[in-house]
Amino acid sequence: MDISLPNNIENILKQKISEGIFNNMDEAISFAIKFAFIDNNINQERINLLNEEIEKGWQDMENGRYRDAKAVFRDLRKKYV
């Protein structure tokens, strides 16, 4: 398989090979591709978890399970001041 890389990316990978981080270009490219997919999956998992938490909060608000911010701060001042 032939792969064309932009010069700046190729230079970065060559630098990493010369630093001993990778043994050759195939290893460097393989790592970069795996990292890109893993990072993307992690970010999507975080987004999904945040969306679930937002939905729970929204449901709490709709069902009247919330406190006014002034009341929360008043209670915190009583407790910690």
Kindly state the tokens that stand for 75.
């209670």
pLDDT tens track for 33-47: 888 877 777 778 888
Beta-carbon count within 10 A of 38 CB: 10
* Cα gap 14→28, rounded to integer Å: 9
Residue range 17-34, pLDDT digits in tens: 999 999 999 999 999 888
**Is residue 66 classed as helix, strand or coil in its secondary structure?**
coil
Structure tokens at 65: 């399970």
- The CA–CA distances, whole Å, from 27 to 20, 23, 33 equal 11, 7, 10
**Two structure tokens written together for 25:** 């270009």
pLDDT value at residue 62: 93
pTM score > 0.85 for this model? Answer: no
